[in-house]
Amino acid sequence: MSAKERLLLWTQQATEGYAGVRCENFTTCWRDGKLFNAIIHKYRPDLIDMNTVAVQSNLANLEHAFYVAEKIGVIRLLDPEDVDVSSPDEKSVITYVSSLYDAFPKVPEGGEGIGANDVEVKWIEYQNMVNYLIQWIRHHVATMSERTFPNNPVELKALYNQYLQFKETEIPPKETEKSKIKRLYKLLEIWIEFGRIKLLQGYHPNDIEREWGKLIIAMLEREKALRPEVERLEMLQQIASRVQRDSIICEDKLILARNALQSDSKRLESGVQFQNEAEIAGYILECENLLRQHVIDVQILIDGRYYQADQLVQRVAKLRDEIVALRNECSSVYSKGLEPNSLQTLKLMQIRKPLLKSSLLDQNLTEEEVNMKFVQDLLNWVDEMQVQLDRTEWGSDLPSVESHLENHKNVHRAIEEFESSLKEAKSSEVYKILTLTFLSKNTSRNQERHLDTLHNFVTRATNELIWLNEKEEEEVAYDWSEKNTSIARKKDYHAELMRELDQKEENIKSVQEIAEQLLLENHPARLTIEAYRAAMQTQWSWILQLCQCVEQHIRENTAYFEFFNDAKGATDSLRNLKDAIQRKYSCDRSSSVHKLEDLIQESMEEKEALLQYKSTVASLMGRAKAVVQLKPRNPDCPLKTSIPIKAICDYRQIEVLVTAVPVCHGPVCVLLCSSTQQRRC
């Protein structure tokens, strides 16, 4: 098919369906101007009124068509008088129609495009897609901006899961929909540029991207608000669970204490010596210790606006009333019972002095019966001391160990003073009591020895842990941002710290060896010893990791400041060179040829020097790629976007594990906030 035939076919296809318009040639068919107007109307219906064309004269139609075509970029190659003749020049008409063909949008052969007949349909489809997506985005931006969260941890967790589900299931399809809008816009863009479509404000893909960016920011802000709130309520829920669990324990102990008190009440009514006073005192002490923790926990729940705080307050108040009531009952039952105020400062062991023989004298009792009753009370006292020794606790930290050690010294002193009471007993009974007393004293000595060794170990371990914690706090709180330029001083301090660590290592090993020896000897406070040993190992390992981090930070910060110092020097040198060149090479028409030749010669030398300086600039460009950013570490420089970061040491907390990776690996973390060291994540 020739070019002429293809052009004729295009004209016939473009004007198909137009009443009173036929294209069979490039001469007589074009005389009335209707074909020209029909072609333009096909592509720009907003510029041509075909009803007017149907009633206008040939010259008017031709003039209107050429005028409109000129507005859309087609050069006027013809005049109406040239065409409104019996036989227009075919070549001139073909040339002009070819200009129209070139000016109008075309669908690529075999490619994706929108034909003139489909423009309105596709434009309406595009507008509908944009309207729906924009409405959807704005609706969810408003939802994500909501900051009223439930206080119920279950409901809040459900809300957080709902957010995650939205992020994982609803966002990807909308991103696909956004991509479809972009593709459709690309197809419509040629018609927009041609003027067939008037793009309304807010309908460009860039406008959609701006709205989408608002949604993403709102989502990030919501997650930043939701996640800490979830963690906070989970922490409060754990505290509430502990209060409920310990309340049950306390209630059980109160039941045991009441049962024991009832037994002693019956014994006293029968004239028998009570046996459970120390046991009840222990129960009350344990309950009061739990109650003190309850008061602290409940206050935390109240301050945190926990949704069940009021119920737990009522439960703790009820326990407090029950403990006070039980304490009052004890005071009324025991003639030497517990004073109301003494229970508040009750020590771990209650020490009862044995009865004096003179207090048992009774006219109704024979001397033999008095002796038997006196000896029985001595035996009961020894049994009570043995029970208390068997129930000895060891403590879990330095203050509790010191408290238990002091209490035990009082018990041991009471056992030694007890021997004076034996002078009033007969020799046969004394032998039995002495045997039991020896056992109690032996047990007491062993326990005192264990407490002394435990106290020595815990004291040394605590001192080492305090020192390690202080060093940790110093390193964690150190400012590694661009504001702190004292890298040389930090380097000297770090070298001094490493020397201190070398010295401390011997102390740490010595304390660890003590722990190993105590465990080999089956020390009864195994749990406390193992806890301190593990804490020292963990803290020592952590401080060594921090030192490795400090060394890397020193290298990176040194490189950072050296780079910017060198870059500033290079910038100043280039700026000075530029100013010198501008001053030196200022010439005009009056300059002599000799001077110009000298300047050209000097410029060649300066050009050579400048080329040599190029390597300095290239070196700076290469170094720039390896320079670590320090500004994101500055709390005064809020982040505008998240930054990928690498971990250079292992970091462990509850439900959090960050593992160091080689530099060649990709980032494993994202810096979301730099306001404080604690909030960096």
Per-residue confidence (pLDDT) for residue 443, from 0 to 100: 58
Of 346, 363, 396, the last residue of a domain is 346
**Percentage of residues in the chain with pLDDT exceeding 70?**
75
Full residue range of the structural domain in which residue 666 is found: 638-681
**pLDDT attached to residue 400:** 64
Query: Number of C-alpha atoms within 13 angstroms, CB side, residue 129?
Result: 21
Q: For residue 431, name the pLDDT band (cuts at 50, 70, 90).
A: very low
Domain holding 92: CATH number?
1.10.418.10
Render pLDDT for 81-125 as a digit per residue (tens, 0 to 9).
888 888 888 888 888 888 888 888 876 665 578 888 888 898 999
What CA–CA distance (Å, rounded) separates 126 from 187? 10
pLDDT for residue 418 is more than 70:
no
* Same domain, yes or no: 185 and 285: yes
Same-domain status, 185 and 327: yes
- Residue 673 or 349, more confident: 673
Q: What is the mean pLDDT of residues 567-576?
A: 85
Whether residue 567 sits in one domain with residue 651:
no
Asked if 241 and 164 sit in the same domain, the reply is yes
At 487, which CATH number?
A: 1.20.58.60
* Residues 29 and 86 placed together within one structural domain of the fold: yes
Query: In this predicted model, what pLDDT tens digit does every residue of 461-482 receive, in sequence order?
Result: 888 888 888 888 888 888 877 7
pLDDT band at 373 (very low <50, low <70, confident <90, very high): low
Residue 400 lies in a domain: no
Distances (CA, A) of 337 to 55, 256, 331, 391: 123, 18, 5, 21
Question: How many separate domains does the chain show?
Answer: 4
The span from the CA of 77 to the CA of 98, in Å, is 11
Position 46 confidence tier, pLDDT thresholds 50, 70, 90: confident
* pLDDT higher than threshold 70 for residue 55: yes
CA distances from 299 to 154, 239, 244, 348 (A): 21, 11, 14, 27
Rounded mean pLDDT of 274-288?
Answer: 82
Assess whether 225 and 247 both reside in one domain: yes
pLDDT digits (tens, 9 = 90+) for 303-318: 888 888 889 999 988 9
Residue 183 has pLDDT above 60, yes or no: yes
- pLDDT for the residue numbered 674: 54
In a domain, 221, yes or no: yes
pLDDT band at 135 (very low <50, low <70, confident <90, very high): very high
Asked if residue 357 is part of any domain, the answer here is: no
Report the relative pairing of strands 643-645 and 669-671 from DSSP bridges.
antiparallel
Residues 79 and 177 in one domain: no
User: Does 226 or 414 have the greater pLDDT score?
Assistant: 226
Q: How confident is the model at residue 526 (pLDDT cuts 50, 70, 90)?
A: confident
Alpha-carbon distance values, 420 to 157, 427, 470 (Å): 68, 14, 52
Residue 184 is assigned to a structural domain of this protein:
yes
* DSSP conformation letters of 398-414: HHHHHHHHHHHHHHHHH
Over residues 400-404, the mean pLDDT reads 66
pLDDT of 175 reads 92
pLDDT beyond 60 at 257: yes
Residue for token digits 């137009």? 18
Does residue 264 share a domain with residue 163? yes
Q: Which of 346, 376, 409 is the last residue of a domain?
A: 346
343 confidence band (pLDDT: 50, 70, 90): very low
